[in-house]
């Protein structure tokens, strides 16, 4: 067949298997979480969750492996390439909106609901609930300190977070260098820049983990610490998960580069990962500004 015809794949078992795995993950996670909250044993839920996650890992490996194989057999036309580009772009847009929900939450809490609870502004009547409560940000003293003991201290933005900002920003630069070298087909340098990118991403994750340990053990900054802790952990936590996923994707394209995949003018898999990496980087800049610094 000519490479210019649009490739419509024949029947595939991957999607239905992936649906079953997704169901196992969701049902297992639900069972596990409910059991933990009820202080019952979570054995069944945990098993389902792990089986589901394992299957999903295998399926995604197989499915992506299959797509890579098709691509290397030359089945994909330029039009197919554009479908992938649109697909990845809109996927990243959906991720942007996912973070937008949490940033929106942060802005609402900081600018509206906490000041109202403290008696400021048009809905300051909310102060009647906890008289004497004072609105501050970061919120160190929650309205009900017995239910949600506020944090004792905060992360200093100019130490680990600043280092992390530099790490991630430079990793965006290094992945771009890797991309340029790929276009020039200078593979050893592609590999070197990719390894450096992965190292920077991993270092970021290690520092982030250290920061969480410090937050929990020394600062009393926990999920229970009222709205500051809640917004802090949901934003940095989901960002950390995305960095983890991005690092994993970088490792995969590194392995592919080592195996001789990608051509100087045809390497959308590589570009997709680098787009994703830039995206997690941009989210971090927002986090550094609005969660840590301001």
Partner 1 sequence: MGSLEQTVHSTGHHGPASGITRWLYTTNHKDIGTLYLIFSLTMFFIGGCMALTIRAELFQPGLQLVRPEFFNQMTTSHGLIMVFGAVMPAFVGLANWLIPMMIGAPDMALPRMNNWSFWILPFAFFMMLSTLLMEGGGPNFGWTFYAPLSTTYAPPSVTFFIFAVHMMGISSIMGAINVIATILNMRTPGMKLMDMPLFVWTWLITAFLLIAVMPVLAGVVTMMLMDIHFGTSFFDAAGGGDPVLFQHVFWFFGHPEVYIMILPAFGVVSEIIPTFARKRLFGYTSMVYATASIAILSFIVWAHHMFAVGMPLAGELFFMYTTMLIAVPTGVKVFNWVATMFRGSMTFETPMLFALAFVVLFTIGGFSGLMLAIAPADFQYHDTYFVVAHFHYVLVPGSVFAIMAAAYFWLPKWTGHMYNESMGKLHFWLSFIGVNVTFFPMHFLGLAGMPRRIPDYALQFADFNMVATFGAFLFGFSQLLFVYNVISCIRSGKQATDKVWEGSHGLEWTLPSPPPYHSFTEPPVFKHPYKENG
- Binders of partner 1 among 33-62, rule CB under 8 A? 33-34, 36-38, 61-62
How many angstroms separate the CA atoms of 68 and 7, rounded? Answer: 14
Cα distances (angstroms) measured from residue 142 to each of 117, 122, 131, 215, 291: 10, 21, 12, 17, 18
Residue 108 interacting with partner 1 (CB under 8 A): yes
The 10 Å CB-count burial string (b at 16+, else e) for 1-21 is eeeeeebeeeeeeeeebbeeb
Does residue number 121 form part of the binding site for partner 1 (CB under 8 A)? Answer: yes
Q: Does 212 bind partner 1 (CB under 8 A)?
A: no
- Given the rule CB under 8 A, which of 114-122, 195-203, 240-248, 265-273 is the region that contacts partner 1? 114-122
Nearer to partner 1, 15 or 264 (CB): 15
> End-to-end distance of the chain based on CA atoms, in angstroms?
58
Nearer to partner 1, 29 or 162 (CB): 29
Interface positions, 242-271, toward partner 1 (CB under 8 A): none
Q: Which among 183-191, 227-235, 264-272, 275-283 is the span making contact with partner 1, rule CB under 8 A? A: 227-235
* Site for partner 1 contains 66 (CB under 8 A): yes
Q: Does 285 bind partner 1 (CB under 8 A)?
A: no
Distance CA 68, CA 268 (A): 10
**Least distance CB 219 / partner 1 (angstroms):** 16
Residue 266, beta-bridge partner list? 263
Q: Which is nearer to partner 1, 65 or 264 (CB)?
A: 65
- In the complex, the smallest distance separating the C-beta of residue 139 from partner 1, rounded to whole angstroms, is 5
Q: How far is CA 2 from CA 7, 77, 261, in A?
A: 10, 9, 22
CB of 74 to partner 1, least distance (A): 13
Please report whether residue 294 would count as binding partner 1 according to CB under 8 A. no
CB closer to partner 1 out of 108 and 180: 108
Please tell me the distance from the alpha carbon of residue 89 to that of residue 276, in angstroms, as a whole number. 9
- 11 counts as binding partner 1 under rule CB under 8 A: yes
Tokens, residue 275: 């787009």
Question: Do 106 and 291 contact (CB within 8 A), yes or no?
Answer: yes
Structure tokens, 83: 């479908």
Nearest to 18 by CA among 46, 60, 47, 51: 60
Of residues 77-96, those binding partner 1 (CB under 8 A): 79, 82-83, 86-87, 90-91, 93-95
Q: Which of 228, 262, 284, 288 binds partner 1 (CB under 8 A)?
A: 228
Q: Which listed range, 191-199, 225-233, 268-276, 278-286, lies at the site for partner 1 (CB under 8 A)?
A: 225-233
> Prior bond to 292 cis, omega within 30?
no
Structure-token pair, residue 249? 């994707």
The window from 137-145, 184-192, 197-205, 272-280 that contacts partner 1 (CB under 8 A) reads 137-145
Residue 171 in contact with residue 200, Cβ under 8 Å?
yes
**Residue with smaller CB distance to partner 1, 86 or 180:** 86
C-beta neighbour count of 218 within 10 angstroms: 10
Minimum Å distance from CB 266 to partner 1?
17
């Amino acid at each position: 067949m000519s490479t210019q015809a649009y490739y419509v794949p024949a029947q595939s078992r991957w999607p239905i298997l992936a649906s079953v795995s997704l169901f196992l993950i969701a049902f297992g996670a639900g069972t596990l979480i409910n059991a933990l909250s009820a202080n019952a044993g979570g054995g069944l839920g945990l098993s389902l969750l792990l089986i589901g996650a394992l299957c999903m890992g295998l399926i995604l490996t197989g499915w992506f492996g299959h797509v890579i194989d098709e691509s290397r057999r030359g089945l994909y036309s330029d039009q197919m390439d554009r479908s992938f580009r649109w697909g990845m772009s809109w996927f990243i847009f959906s991720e942007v909106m996912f973070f937008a929900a949490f940033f929106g939450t942060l802005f609402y809490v900081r600018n509206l609901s906490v000041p109202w609870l403290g008696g400021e502004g048009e809905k300051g009547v909310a102060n009647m609930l906890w008289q004497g409560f004072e609105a501050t940000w970061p919120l160190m003293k929650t309205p009900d300190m017995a239910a949600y003991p506020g944090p004792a201290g905060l992360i200093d933005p100019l130490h680990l977070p600043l280092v992390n900002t530099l790490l991630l920003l430079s990793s965006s630069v290094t992945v771009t260098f890797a991309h340029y070298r790929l276009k020039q087909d200078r593979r050893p340098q592609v590999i070197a820049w990719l390894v450096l990118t992965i190292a920077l991403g991993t270092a970021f994750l290690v520092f982030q983990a250290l920061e969480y340990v410090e937050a929990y053990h020394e600062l009393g900054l926990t999920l229970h610490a009222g709205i500051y802790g809640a917004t802090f952990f949901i934003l940095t936590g989901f960002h950390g998960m995305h960095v983890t996923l991005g690092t994993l994707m970088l490792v995969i394209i590194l392995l592919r580069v080592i195996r001789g995949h990608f051509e100087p003018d045809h390497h959308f898999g590589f570009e997709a990962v680098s787009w994703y990496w830039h995206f997690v980087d941009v989210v971090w800049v927002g986090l550094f500004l609005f969660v840590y610094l301001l």
